[in-house]
Structure 1
Amino acid sequence: MTLFRQIILVFTLFFLVMLAVVLAINFSESRAYIEEKLYTNAQNTASTLAVTMSQSDGDVTKMSVIADAVFDTGYYRRIALEDMRGRLIFEKSRKSRPAVPAWFLSLVKLDIPRAYAQVSAGWRPLGMLEVVPDTTVSVEYLYTLFKKIVGVFAVSALVGVLIIALLLRMILRPLRTMESQAEGVLQNRFILNRQLPKTLELKRVTEAINALVERMEQMHEKLVEETRRVRELEYRDALTGLYNRRFFLVRYDEYLKAQDSRAAGVVVGLRLCNTAEANKRAGFDSVNRLIAAVAEAAKEKGATVEEAVAARISGVEMALLLPGLDIDRGEALAEEILHRCRKILDGNAEAGPVLYLALAVVPYDPVTPKEKFFSTLDVALNAAASQNRDAVRALRYEEGLPTRKSTWRQLISRAIEEKALVPKLTDIFTEKGGEVSATLRFDLPDGEGGLIPYRVYGPTMAELGLFADYARYLFDYLLGRDDLQCGRVFVEMPMAYLDTTHHFDELLGAARKLRRRGRSLVVALGQGDLLRKGGDAAEVVADELRKKGVGLAVVRFDADTEMLQLLHRVRPGYVKMDVAQFLDMGDGLRNSLLLLLKSVGATLLIGGVSSPEELERLEKCGEGFVVV
């Protein structure tokens, strides 16, 4: 029972008791007064009538007429004259019919007084006159008084309830704010109540809650900062700020096993040549500054590609891992990097003239062994460096897939229209509740009996603006399949799809229909998409999905510093990380990350597990994650 209801209950009981007391006192006093007044009036009337009748010389008719005049006033129930022997001479009487409820008559019982006076003719007594007053007017008066008292009390009670409601609303407002603060802490939203209540007790409690929230916020920020610091120590190069070789290898392995566009692309290698001579001319510090500036320029150019990774491989070598990029676009980007870095080198009059840049562009894919890829990259860099001047060397190969966008558009559109896409459930896992979850994708028929994985055609489909058609195809498939053996379905979507209002509404409508069938939908967004969206906008999207009962998952998660800070705002239900990076983490970083994800209510999904050895190592890492 709420505090308001408890107070109203006590208030109502108090008012009822007060009403009963007031009615009892009032009716007791009023009844005594009325009874006394009725008797006095009846006695005065009896005495007056007796004197008047005594002047009638015993004429019964005259005495009856005199009695009629008084009886017709309506204030008397009975007027009767009896002789001295008790025989009735005449009687005037009526029944009392007051206009009040029967229950009130039974509640209010007036003692009806009787007045007597002697009628005589000279000195000779004629008889005794009896006068009984009528209580109708008195009872109706008491009933009117009762209604007025009850009405006054009812109005007073209503006003009292309104006043109590307003007072409670004012008093409990800080408590509602405290409730919001507590709920916010559970969701890592730290709200401070700047408007302290005037009530001293509530003011103290509010100050204590504010201090607790500030402390929790500091602890959360410390946890994020500690996770970020450990990650920087493990994966960041101190001089350039790029990732190190260790991180590059982890992400390269992750991309090769990915079920999306990251599985194929190009790597742009960069080598700063002739640094020994430059060190002699300009000094180590000057050359180090040039290396840092070249690294920053290469990183900025590579950032134009989604999910790109920039790393320092060795002292003078850097690499850009560019998923989803073909060899032509990779070579064009390498030329842009070369021109940008050349300007930086020319800005140093001592070291610039002797330094030159060697760039290599090498494609990667899941088919090419890692050892062969890196040896090929090294050969290409050596070939570019052997020219003793700025040079770009690209290694081309044929993929056997469509190269023209028009061909891709025709192939994808036809498959959607003909409902020829082949469904594929991946990343299947079961949580503690027993509900089966899986990611739904579709392979694309190539027209020659083969299938093109989603990871290959997906980026091109999004670039061609066909994802909305693909999403409708996916929703129709889900709504038409009651035999799908999973209760929660993950669907990867680009943020650009959610940015369109009618597409977002289509998603919510499909999710609502799926819930009616006992199945839930989880939207999987890439970490890069969320970071590009920005904190405020990403939080709005996440909140809207959550309100409509649609889950949110962050895929391609790598514990990036910006993403760690964004986690408490978007509060995803799931975060997916590749097994290679998770196992490569040190214990300190891994434990901090698991603690941080637990604090925001996110379940960590570990994907890409392909060997018993990896499963064995994951078992040694303890709990706090789910292998998919």
Structure 2
Amino acid sequence: MTLFRQLMMTIIAIFSLMLAVVMGINFNTTKGYLVGQLESTTQDSATSLSMSVSDFMALEDYVSVESSINAVFDSGYFSEVRIHVYNNDESIVRSNETKIDGVPNWFIDLIDFKVPVAKAVISNGWSELGQVYITGSAGYGYNQLWLASRDLLISFFVIGSITLMLGSIALRYLFRPLAELEKQAEAIQQRRFIKVIDVPKTRELKSVVLSMNRMVEKLKKEFAAEAETAQWLQAKAFKDPVSGLGNRHFFENQMKSHFSERERGIDGLVLVSLTDLAKLNNERGYESADMFIQSAADILAKKISNISSYTTLARLSGADFVLLIPNFDHAQLKQVVEDVMVELMELNIASISYSDAVANIGAVTIDGSVERSSAMSQADAALREAKREGYNTSKVYDLNTGQSMAISRSSWKEMLELAIQHRSFKLKKQKVVTIDESPITLHEEVFMGLEHAGKIYHAGYFIGLAEQFDLGSQIDQVIISRVIEYIKSKKLEVPLTVNLSASSYAKPAFIEWLNNTLNHLEAGVKSKLMFEISEQSVLLDEQQASSLAQMLKTQHVLFGIDNVGKQFSAFQYLQNLMPDYVKVDSSYTRMAAGKESESFFMHTLCKMFNSLNIEVIATGVENEKQLVALKRFDLAGGQGFIVGRAKEM
């Protein structure tokens, strides 16, 4: 319960107590006054009646006596007027049933109103002729008590309502600094470092606000230092200082990670070799050589930014660059190579290259059956062939792509549209478990595939084409709908995680559709649904990723970010998105099980993410050595072949 509500309840309790005390005092005072007044009235009436009927009693004129009784009875609030005649031992009575109008029955039952009975002796001379008995009417007393209590209660209610309303406004005004402090504390918990701008004038609150602001500033600097350290270490180990691209070490790690995947699609591997870089360095100096390298790197980086966020680009050596483009067919690769060569040749026009001879390019298209060493050998052979043919030439090989490449782009589009229409994607799930002696399943990630001509194609074969055909959001909608149906039909113990493509949540219409879908789900079903997005897609459109994250948080649905650490980027986006967990790139898993100097990167990432209360999950856990090595780190869980294979849904 909030402090504001506690204070309001305290005020209401005190006000109610005051009302009860005042009403009690007022009630007893009013009741005593009414009883006293009724006693006085009945006694006066009894005395007056005894004197007025004494002569009639002496003459035994009982008709006149009765007339006097009627006159007295009708003139006051009496329930009974009775004269007892000693002479014949009879009573002359005038009475009426007490009727209490306008007073609730519960009030009558609750209040015990003592009705007074007045007596007076009728005498004539020294003789006592009888006695008068007058009983007051409780109706008058109840009526007056009810009116007094009701009016007092209404007055207190009106005054109390006005007081509470004004008090509420005043308290809200006084509590504004506390509300800001509460928001600030929640933001700190989420590692969003905000300051309270309006410092209150109240001395105690002012001191607290200023202390919180100082703490926020300190925490902000500490996190920025951690992120900067992680980024610096990453760049120091994996970044080429001249081109700004990944170095050979970075590329080798990414290649190992990519080729260790058990389900790969059609990939493009490109080698670019700049011509006469050594001559340029010797004759014009290292600055000209560096400009040549940087210009070529900019052309390549710009080109891949328009192709795929999953492309790996690195500088292998002085004049050599390499590109690994996942989910890319032969025709696309040839077109990219031609476009890159055209742009590189423009460096000669700008007098950046040494001569007309700018570069040679060798490329190869490979499928999942090709080993890493074979792929690099074939790409190198293509580059040698291009150099043999002369400067500014390129060569693109098609290496063992087989049946997978026999399907044309138009056929793939028809297959995908048909699969969307019939919701015929094949679904698998792979569990994510804790890394300890007794593993506990945290959640299960959903993978999709497509069957054609008796062969199952995993997502790597067609997801790139689906993005190009603008079918990504439709595929995601089908997968989400089928996963929801699966959750409803099964009693699941752990949630299922669905990966969302960048092209899906880049569309506001998709986020709106997903929000409406989640709105119509029961809480039990919604709790078994999670979502993931890749770091590459976040870096492409952080604003839309933020919109998706805010919507999922509003729906109380967990979400994570995949492939974290694969790109050279600052980690500040995590403070904006605040995912529930991150999956670090599988290259860090291999480094964690490698040299001690390389395992430090996993330790740094875990420390930084855990400081944000973000759980860390290792991916690509393929052997026992990696599993044992990962137990040294502060990881929430792991995913890979050794901890759980993908199973049919």
Name the TM-score, length of structure 1 as normaliser: 0.82
* Matched residue type, 1:526: S
Alignment of 1:266 with 2:273, yes or no, is: no
Alignment of 1:223 with 2:226, yes or no, is: yes
Does the 8 A contact of 2:492 with 2:528 survive in 1? no
Query: Which residue of 1 is the match for residue 74 of structure 2?
Result: 73
Find the aligned partners of 1:353 and 1:301 in 2 and give their Cα distance.
23
Query: Which residue of 2 is the match for residue 305 of structure 1?
Result: 307
Does the 8 A contact of 2:362 with 2:394 survive in 1? yes
Task: Describe the shift of the 1:92–1:608 C-alpha distance in structure 2 as closer, same or farther (beyond 3 A).
Answer: closer
In the comparison of the two structures, how many residue pairs are matched?
616
Query: Which residue of 2 is the match for residue 618 of structure 1?
Result: 630
Does the 8 A contact of 2:312 with 2:325 survive in 1? yes
Alignment of 1:439 with 2:445, yes or no, is: yes
Task: Describe the shift of the 1:36–1:427 C-alpha distance in structure 2 as closer, same or farther (beyond 3 A).
Answer: closer
Q: 1:271 aligns to what SS in structure 2?
A: strand
Alpha-carbon offset, residue 201 of structure 1: 4.0
Find the aligned partners of 1:477 and 1:149 in 2 and give their Cα distance.
64
Matches within 5 A, 1:444-523: 444-447=450-453, 449-467=454-472, 468=474, 471-472=477-478, 475-476=481-482, 479=485, 482=489, 487-498=494-505, 499=507, 501=509, 505=513, 509=517, 520-523=528-531
Q: 1:270 aligns to what SS in structure 2?
A: strand
Does the 8 A contact of 1:256 with 1:365 survive in 2? no
Gaps of 5+ in 2: 593-597, 641-649
Alignment of 1:573 with 2:577, yes or no, is: no
Alignment of 1:184 with 2:221, yes or no, is: no
Query: Which residue of 2 is the match for residue 370 of structure 1?
Result: 372
Find the aligned partners of 1:622 and 1:438 in 2 and give their Cα distance.
21
Does the 8 A contact of 1:552 with 1:574 survive in 2? yes
Query: Which residue of 2 is the match for residue 13 of structure 1?
Result: 17
Task: Describe the shift of the 1:45–1:221 C-alpha distance in structure 2 as closer, same or farther (beyond 3 A).
Answer: farther
Find the aligned partners of 1:31 and 1:484 in 2 and give their Cα distance.
74
Query: Which residue of 2 is the match for residue 555 of structure 1?
Result: 562
Structure 1 range deviating more: 277-286 or 204-213: 204-213
Does the 8 A contact of 2:589 with 2:620 survive in 1? no
Find the aligned partners of 1:617 and 1:442 in 2 and give their Cα distance.
30
CA shift digits 1:325-373 (9 cap, x unpaired):
2333333323333333333343338x64376322222334443333333
Find the aligned partners of 1:555 and 1:544 in 2 and give their Cα distance.
19
Does the 8 A contact of 1:524 with 1:552 survive in 2? yes
Task: Describe the shift of the 1:514–1:604 C-alpha distance in structure 2 as closer, same or farther (beyond 3 A).
Answer: farther
Q: 1:324 aligns to what SS in structure 2?
A: coil
Task: Describe the shift of the 1:45–1:159 C-alpha distance in structure 2 as closer, same or farther (beyond 3 A).
Answer: farther
Find the aligned partners of 1:150 and 1:478 in 2 and give their Cα distance.
57
Does the 8 A contact of 1:269 with 1:361 survive in 2? yes
Superposed CA RMSD: 4.1
Does the 8 A contact of 1:71 with 1:92 survive in 2? no
Task: Describe the shift of the 1:72–1:323 C-alpha distance in structure 2 as closer, same or farther (beyond 3 A).
Answer: closer
Query: Which residue of 2 is the match for residue 141 of structure 1?
Result: 144
Query: Which residue of 2 is the match for residue 238 of structure 1?
Result: 241
CA shift digits 1:104-156 (9 cap, x unpaired):
69623254444567656xxx978688574744575243443343334433444
Does the 8 A contact of 1:270 with 1:360 survive in 2? yes
Does the 8 A contact of 1:79 with 1:132 survive in 2? yes
Task: Describe the shift of the 1:149–1:605 C-alpha distance in structure 2 as closer, same or farther (beyond 3 A).
Answer: closer
Find the aligned partners of 1:386 and 1:39 in 2 and give their Cα distance.
138
Q: Which of the numbers 397, 410, 433 marks the counterpart of 1:406?
A: 410
Does the 8 A contact of 2:515 with 2:551 survive in 1? no
Structure 1 range deviating more: 402-411 or 429-438: 429-438
Find the aligned partners of 1:66 and 1:337 in 2 and give their Cα distance.
129
CA shift digits 1:41-71 (9 cap, x unpaired):
6556766x37xx7699968469637725742
Task: Describe the shift of the 1:74–1:236 C-alpha distance in structure 2 as closer, same or farther (beyond 3 A).
Answer: same
Matches within 5 A, 1:528-539: 528-534=536-542, 536-539=543-546
Does the 8 A contact of 2:362 with 2:379 survive in 1? yes
Alpha-carbon offset, residue 246 of structure 1: 0.8
Gaps of 5+ in 1: none
Matches within 5 A, 1:361-400: 361-385=363-387, 389-400=391-402
Task: Describe the shift of the 1:20–1:607 C-alpha distance in structure 2 as closer, same or farther (beyond 3 A).
Answer: same
Does the 8 A contact of 1:346 with 1:353 survive in 2? no
Alpha-carbon offset, residue 538 of structure 1: 1.0
Task: Describe the shift of the 1:461–1:36 C-alpha distance in structure 2 as closer, same or farther (beyond 3 A).
Answer: same
Matches within 5 A, 1:306-345: 306=308, 307-345=310-348
Alpha-carbon offset, residue 382 of structure 1: 4.0
Q: Which of the numbers 610, 620, 628 marks the counterpart of 1:608?
A: 620
Find the aligned partners of 1:135 and 1:476 in 2 and give their Cα distance.
80
Does the 8 A contact of 2:588 with 2:601 survive in 1? no
Alpha-carbon offset, residue 541 of structure 1: 0.8
CA shift digits 1:89-113 (9 cap, x unpaired):
9855435725265846962325444
Find the aligned partners of 2:282 and 2:160 in 1 and give their Cα distance.
96
Task: Describe the shift of the 1:97–1:560 C-alpha distance in structure 2 as closer, same or farther (beyond 3 A).
Answer: same
Alpha-carbon offset, residue 39 of structure 1: 4.2
Structure 1 range deviating more: 480-489 or 186-195: 480-489
Q: 2:383 aligns to what SS in structure 1?
A: helix
Task: Describe the shift of the 1:597–1:273 C-alpha distance in structure 2 as closer, same or farther (beyond 3 A).
Answer: same
Matches within 5 A, 1:29-48: 29-36=33-40, 39=43, 43=47
Does the 8 A contact of 1:250 with 1:580 survive in 2? yes
Find the aligned partners of 2:631 and 2:406 in 1 and give their Cα distance.
43
Does the 8 A contact of 2:427 with 2:446 survive in 1? yes
Alpha-carbon offset, residue 450 of structure 1: 3.6
Find the aligned partners of 1:142 and 1:562 in 2 and give their Cα distance.
80
* Matched residue type, 1:527: E
Find the aligned partners of 2:349 and 2:75 in 1 and give their Cα distance.
125
Task: Describe the shift of the 1:423–1:201 C-alpha distance in structure 2 as closer, same or farther (beyond 3 A).
Answer: same
Find the aligned partners of 1:143 and 1:372 in 2 and give their Cα distance.
101
Alpha-carbon offset, residue 594 of structure 1: 0.8
Does the 8 A contact of 1:257 with 1:366 survive in 2? no
Find the aligned partners of 2:637 and 2:58 in 1 and give their Cα distance.
121
Does the 8 A contact of 1:511 with 1:520 survive in 2? no
Alignment of 1:109 with 2:114, yes or no, is: yes
